[in-house]
Copies of this chain bind each other. A is one copy, B any other.
Amino acid sequence: MSIREANSEDFDAIWPIFNEIVRAGKTYAYPTNTTKEQAYKIWIETPKKTYVYEEDGNIFGTYFLKTNQAGPGEHVCNCGYMVSSLARGRGLATAMCEHSQEVAKELGYKAMQFNFVASNNEDAVRLWKKLDFETVGCLPKAFNHPTEGYIDAFVLYKWL
């Protein structure tokens, strides 16, 4: 397996992963009807870097890295990770998160922040905590979950 920088041709393999996750509306702050064109802008064009997790020529995961706040906040980055439902539970998110922290440090970032983690996304919260992220904020009823309604969202943070 390898984690390598994505190129624009990879997006045809990224899109089914993105679409499945975003349409479910349970984890990401994108509209559930985000189009492929909008997703390309979000995942490939806007971030500073985009990576894919590849095994035997198949893409099973992807993440982006970008600056979280400009100016006085530009030393803190933000990442988003997605794993195909075909490859869950095999450590891909852990591998990508560890990889992204190394990339962030190489790019000169000093910290990483996740802005909007649904409080019922227990797998993600457990994973980030295992990787020494700290819950530094709780946004009351900020996440409109498709089955749970308005639930809290967490802000997670790690000084690298």
Contact = CB atoms under 8 A, between A and B. Distances in A.
Give the number of times this chain occurs in the complex, counting copies.
Answer: 2
Contact of A157 (B30, B31, B142): B142
B69 A29 contact: yes
A35 to B, nearest CB: 13
Contacts of A143: 72-73
Contacts of A145: 72
A46 to B, nearest CB: 13
Contacts of A75: 144, 150
Contact of A137 (B76, B118, B139, B144): B139
Interface residues of A, number: 40
B69 A116 contact: yes
Contact of A71 (B30, B139, B150): B30
Given A137-B139, A140-B159, A31 B76 contact: no
Interface in A68-88: 69-76
A147 B143 CA distance: 36
Interface of A: 22, 25-26, 28-32, 34, 69-76, 110-111, 113, 115-116, 118, 134, 136-146, 150, 153, 155, 157, 159
